[in-house]
Amino acid sequence: MRRGVDMVKARRFGRPLAVCALFLALAVSDLACSANAGDRSPFNDAVVPGGAALTLEAGKPAICSQLVHSAGFRDLDVDMTELASASSAPHAVERLQAAAIELRSLARKATAALRADLAATASALDDLKARGIRDSSAVRAVSHALMRLGGEMQTRCEFPVG
């Protein structure tokens, strides 16, 4: 008798419970989505709009991880946008300076082959900071340095490509 009641209850509440579980799962996944979308996780998100994801496979040289974890370097796009959009962007200038410092710090620990590219990128960022985003030669120098550094790092780190 008792078992029969339980079965009726199970039938009565089974479906709503399943629906609740579905809602719960959706809510949890929604929270997970919000958390990922909200913070600026250094991994998975593309660094630039439409760009390749930022991931790193195991077993790569330490310099790969160190560059990935360099927040100032990763956020260069944000700084560029701020420099272009505002007549005065003191925070962006500060962050550019910090990025250049981080790159020089990495350069000191890097192999000779990488050291020059890291230092050249830091130097180009310094120049851009001083001359502004509308200075064509400064922009070209930064772009060139980043592409060269990207090529050098690729052979070691094998990042995903676009």
Considering the complex, what minimum distance in angstroms separates the CB of residue 6 from other proteins?
36
17 vs 34, beta carbon nearer other proteins: 34
CB 72 within 8 A of CB 92: no
Q: Which is nearer to other proteins, 119 or 142 (CB)?
A: 142
Q: Are 56 and 70 spatial neighbours (Cβ–Cβ below 8 Å)?
A: no
**Which two structure tokens, joined as six digits, stand for 108?**
């000191």
Nearer to other proteins, 12 or 144 (CB): 144
**Shortest Cβ 18–other proteins spacing (Å):** 21
From the CB of 55, what's the least distance to other proteins, in Å? Answer: 6
Pick between residue 5 and residue 37 the one whose CB is nearest to other proteins: 37
Which residue, 14 or 81, has its beta carbon nearer to other proteins?
Answer: 81
Q: Which residue has the tokens 């959009």?
A: 85
> Is residue 160 helix, strand or coil?
coil
C-beta of 92: minimal distance to other proteins in Å? 11
Is 63 in contact with 114 (CB distance < 8 Å)?
yes
- Helices 90-109, 76-85: axis angle to 10 degrees equals 150
Report DSSP letters for 17-51, one per residue.
Answer: HHHHHHHHHHHHHHHHHHHHHHS--SSSSBSSTT-
- Applying CB under 8 A, the residues found at the interface with other proteins are 29, 32-33, 35-37, 41, 43-60, 65, 67-68, 76-77, 80-81, 83-85, 133-134, 136, 139-140, 142-147, 149-151, 153-154, 157, 159-162
